[in-house]
């Protein structure tokens, strides 16, 4: 049953919520609970008299009180539990606190701490957020969606929990990722929380630790596979289309084969994208664009080694390939500049383990003639670096320390300013630390990592690594696609997003080695990305026919600033 609706007073022009619940039920609704901020008038009209202490605290005082409680927590997991508890009590207060302390709290509500939380989710669960769809309840999906209390749903983040960060199959304990992504959509992008819905397709797990854990709360069966799994996903998508036809669907943390299949199957049928493929690729491309500006180089002047050809690695490679072709290179010329490395070593044409998206990235055998190899039956990372002399190293493997001192030093031998993107999350999965890069390159390396690292003093100069966080891309892409009413999300929109992000990096930030904007500017960055996406959608004939200024105005108005909206009592009319 709907608990509230967004309304506009036609006489005064005032925005307000029409409230359909009363008393204790209202206080228990995280979307609506203002706690001590309820006004005297609201307390009287909504059945709250006597349920609250006398004092009325504006949200600014509540934020001060909440931050004091947050600061008393002794470790990051406890801070995560506190923030999720606050979100379960009052979403407006949670988001106001998060926005005011964004740089401090993003590593708590998302990477790296969310990974630790997902590993223990069944042990720390307090309240359930979002929707869980299982093989046992998929037949009732219309009833499930019909029971949602939100006034409308415009944004869904969905996972099946099979590839959570670099941690693997966590079943429905992976719901922490869609919940965290929704938090970033709101805090960074300004999407209103009342239109966002996290969903877990709980299709079981092959994680024996979870199956044997008596506290595990998920669907306690081996993971659904094959035709049965695909049929369930199809029923889910059809349910979304029937119930929420204007919704953007973000696929999140699916296994590689599933992720590419879902993206290809549904990107033309429903407004959707995969953040692990397209968002990661777009964020990395933005960092590389800035690096090229710092080096005064072109994409075609560089040689790229990408290790880990899953969703992220393939997405990054395809973005680099698109930029090389945009600079005038042919497919074959682009192929020679991107060296893709997987578990079997360098991808080479004819490899029986090659998968569809990897085919354009496999090297021709003639390209490696004459290479000096440690093992003639396998071309490993050291072989690639020693023979190809890369200028860009990109790691998305979840293998800590993969970029060894030897690898980094060899790269630095042949390049004045190597670019190293060590992108695996959480922190302990990172391929190398920024410090290792700077030591190997005498402070010349340009670095971005998946999780945040502290700056380093290098001979009196501060060196900084950017956090290559998809948060720079997906909130703005989602906001832009929604407000411009795009019919689908295209690769061109992600390219426009990359350009907008890189353009936001100032010369002062570039001098510090930063490749991406500061986190403190994330809402402004998201607005620029949303505007760029809206313009690209319009130009491609896929969005509203608005001028650039009109698109900017719509984006600005759509960005929600966390706070309390006035409430008025209402009566929900039942439709028969």
Distance CA 218, CA 171 (A): 7
Based on the fold, state whether residues 461 and 490 are members of the same structural domain: no
Phi, psi dihedrals of residue 342, rounded to the nearest 5°: -120, -170
- If phi over 0 gives left and psi between -120 and 50 gives alpha, with beta otherwise, what is residue 130? left
pLDDT at 358: 82
Based on the fold, state whether residues 188 and 151 are members of the same structural domain: yes
pLDDT at 350: 84
CA angle 97, 98, 102 (to 5 degrees): 125
Provide DSSP, 130-152: SEEE-TTTGGGHHHHHHT--SS-
Sheet containing 4-8, strands listed edge to edge, beginning at the edge strand earlier in sequence: 4-8, 15-19, 567-569
Cis peptide preceding 35, ω within 30 of 0 = no
Residue 576 lies in a domain: no
pLDDT at 571: 87
Which residue is associated with the tokens 């069966």? Answer: 221
Residue 409 lies in a domain: yes
Residue 354 lies in a domain: yes
Based on the fold, state whether residues 156 and 227 are members of the same structural domain: yes
Based on the fold, state whether residues 254 and 299 are members of the same structural domain: no
Last residue of one domain, picked from the residues 409, 441, 469: 469
Supply the CATH number for residue 235's domain: 3.40.50.10380
Based on the fold, state whether residues 190 and 218 are members of the same structural domain: yes
Based on the fold, state whether residues 196 and 57 are members of the same structural domain: yes
Selection from 573, 388, 452 nearest residue 110 by Cα: 452
Based on the fold, state whether residues 372 and 402 are members of the same structural domain: yes
Most distant pair of Cα atoms in the chain: their distance: 84
pLDDT at 459: 86
Residue 511 lies in a domain: no
Based on the fold, state whether residues 256 and 307 are members of the same structural domain: no
Distance CA 27, CA 515 (A): 44
Mind telling me the catalytic residues?
A: 110, 181
**Angle at which helices 59-71 and 76-89 cross, to 10°:** 150
Based on the fold, state whether residues 285 and 424 are members of the same structural domain: yes
Please give the structure tokens belonging to residue 120: 């223990």
Distance CA 453, CA 464 (A): 8
Phi, psi dihedrals of residue 259, rounded to the nearest 5°: -60, -50
Based on the fold, state whether residues 391 and 247 are members of the same structural domain: no
Burial 402-413 (b: 16+ CB within 10 A, else e): bbeeebbebbbe
Residue 574 lies in a domain: no
Q: How many CB atoms lie within 10 A of CB 55?
A: 7
DSSP symbol at 363: B
Distance CA 143, CA 149 (A): 12
pLDDT at 132: 98
Range(s) of the domain holding residue 95: 4-270+562-569
Q: How many structural domains compose the chain?
A: 3
Please give the structure tokens belonging to residue 453: 């690292």
Residue 483 lies in a domain: yes
Based on the fold, state whether residues 478 and 441 are members of the same structural domain: no
Supply the CATH number for residue 461's domain: 3.40.50.720
Last residue of one domain, picked from the residues 442, 469, 496: 469
pLDDT at 351: 81
Structural contact between residues 479 and 556, judged by C-beta atoms closer than 8 angstroms: no
One pLDDT digit (tens) per residue for the chain, 576 residues: 789 998 988 999 899 999 999 999 999 999 999 999 999 999 999 999 999 999 999 999 999 999 999 999 999 999 999 999 999 999 999 999 999 999 999 999 998 899 999 999 999 998 999 999 999 999 999 999 999 988 899 999 999 999 998 789 999 999 999 999 999 999 999 999 999 999 999 999 999 999 999 999 999 999 999 999 999 999 999 999 999 999 999 999 999 889 999 999 999 999 999 999 999 999 999 999 999 999 999 999 999 999 999 999 999 999 999 999 999 999 999 999 999 999 999 999 888 777 778 888 899 999 899 899 988 889 999 999 999 999 999 999 989 999 999 999 999 998 999 999 999 987 888 999 999 999 999 999 999 998 888 899 988 888 999 999 999 999 999 999 999 999 999 999 999 999 999 999 999 999 999 999 998 899 999 999 999 999 999 999 999 999 999 999 999 999 999 999 999 999 866 543
DSSP SS3 for 342: strand
Provide CB contacts within 8 A for 32, sequence distance 6+. Answer: 3, 4, 17, 19, 21, 26, 567
Residue 575 lies in a domain: no
Distance CA 280, CA 253 (A): 12
Last residue of one domain, picked from the residues 469, 494, 526: 469
Based on the fold, state whether residues 18 and 49 are members of the same structural domain: yes
Selection from 192, 257, 138 nearest residue 17 by Cα: 192
Beta bridge mates, 345:
342
Provide CB contacts within 8 A for 177, sequence distance 6+. Answer: 114, 118, 157, 159, 164, 165, 252, 253
Please give the structure tokens belonging to residue 375: 């093992």
């Amino acid at each position: 049953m709907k608990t509230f609706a967004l309304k506009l007073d036609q006489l005064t022009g005032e925005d307000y919520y029409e409230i359909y619940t009363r008393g204790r039920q209202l206080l228990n609704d995280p979307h609506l609970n203002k706690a001590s901020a309820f006004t005297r008038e609201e307390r009287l009209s909504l059945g709250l008299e006597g349920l609250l202490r006398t004092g009325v605290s504006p949200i600014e005082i509540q934020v001060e009180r909440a931050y004091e409680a947050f600061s008393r927590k002794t470790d990051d997991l406890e801070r995560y539990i506190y923030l999720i508890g606050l979100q379960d009590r009052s979403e407006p207060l949670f988001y106001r606190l998060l926005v005011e302390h964004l740089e401090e709290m993003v590593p708590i509500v998302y990477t790296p701490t969310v990974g630790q939380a997902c590993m223990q989710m069944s042990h720390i669960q307090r309240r359930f957020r979002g929707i869980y769809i299982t093989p046992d309840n998929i037949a009732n999906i219309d009833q499930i969606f019909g029971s949602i209390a939100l006034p409308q749903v415009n944004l869904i983040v969905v996972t099946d929990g099979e590839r959570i960060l670099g941690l693997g199959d966590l079943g429905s304990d992976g719901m922490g990722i869609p919940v965290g992504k929704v938090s970033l959509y709101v805090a960074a992008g300004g999407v209103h929380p009342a239109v966002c819905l996290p969903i877990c397709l709980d299709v079981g797990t092959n994680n024996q630790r979870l199956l044997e854990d008596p506290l595990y709360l998920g669907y306690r069966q081996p993971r659904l596979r094959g035709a049965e799994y695909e049929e369930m996903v199809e029923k889910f998508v059809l349910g979304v289309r029937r119930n929420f036809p204007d919704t953007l669907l973000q696929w999140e943390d699916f296994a590689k084969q599933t992720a590419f299949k879902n993206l290809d199957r549904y990107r033309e049928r429903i407004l959707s994208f995969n953040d692990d493929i397209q968002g990661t690729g777009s964020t990395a491309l933005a960092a590389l664009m800035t690096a090229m500006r710092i080096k005064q180089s072109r994409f075609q002047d560089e040689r790229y080694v990408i290790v880990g050809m899953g969703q992220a690695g393939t997405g990054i490679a395809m973005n680099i390939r698109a930029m090389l072709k945009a600079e005038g290179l042919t497919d074959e010329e682009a192929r020679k500049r991107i060296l893709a490395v997987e578990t079997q070593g360098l991808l080479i044409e004819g490899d029986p383990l090659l998968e569809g998206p990897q085919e354009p990235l496999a090297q021709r055998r003639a390209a490696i003639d004459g290479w000096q190899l440690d093992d003639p039956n396998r071309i490993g990372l050291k072989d690639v670096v020693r023979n190809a002399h890369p200028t860009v190293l990109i790691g998305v493997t979840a293998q800590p320390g993969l970029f060894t001192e030897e690898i980094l030093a060899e790269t630095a031998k042949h390049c004045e300013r190597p670019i190293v993107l060590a992108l695996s999350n959480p922190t302990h999965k990172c391929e190398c630390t920024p410090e290792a890069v700077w030591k190997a390159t005498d402070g010349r390396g340009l670095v971005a990592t998946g999780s945040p690292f502290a700056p380093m003093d290098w001979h009196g100069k501060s060196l900084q690594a950017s956090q290559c966080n998809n948060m720079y891309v997906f909130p703005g892409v989602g906001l832009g696609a929604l407000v411009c009413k795009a019919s689908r999300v295209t690769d061109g929109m992600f390219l426009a997003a990359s350009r907008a992000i890189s353009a936001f990096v100032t010369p002062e930030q570039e001098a510090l080695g930063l490749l991406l904007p500061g986190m403190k500017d994330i809402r402004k960055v998201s607005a620029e990305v949303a505007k760029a996406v809206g313009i690209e959608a319009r130009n491609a004939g896929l969005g509203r026919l608005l001028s650039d200024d009109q698109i900017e105005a719509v984006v600005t108005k759509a960005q929600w600033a966390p706070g309390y909206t006035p409430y008025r009592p209402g009566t929900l009319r039942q439709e028969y």
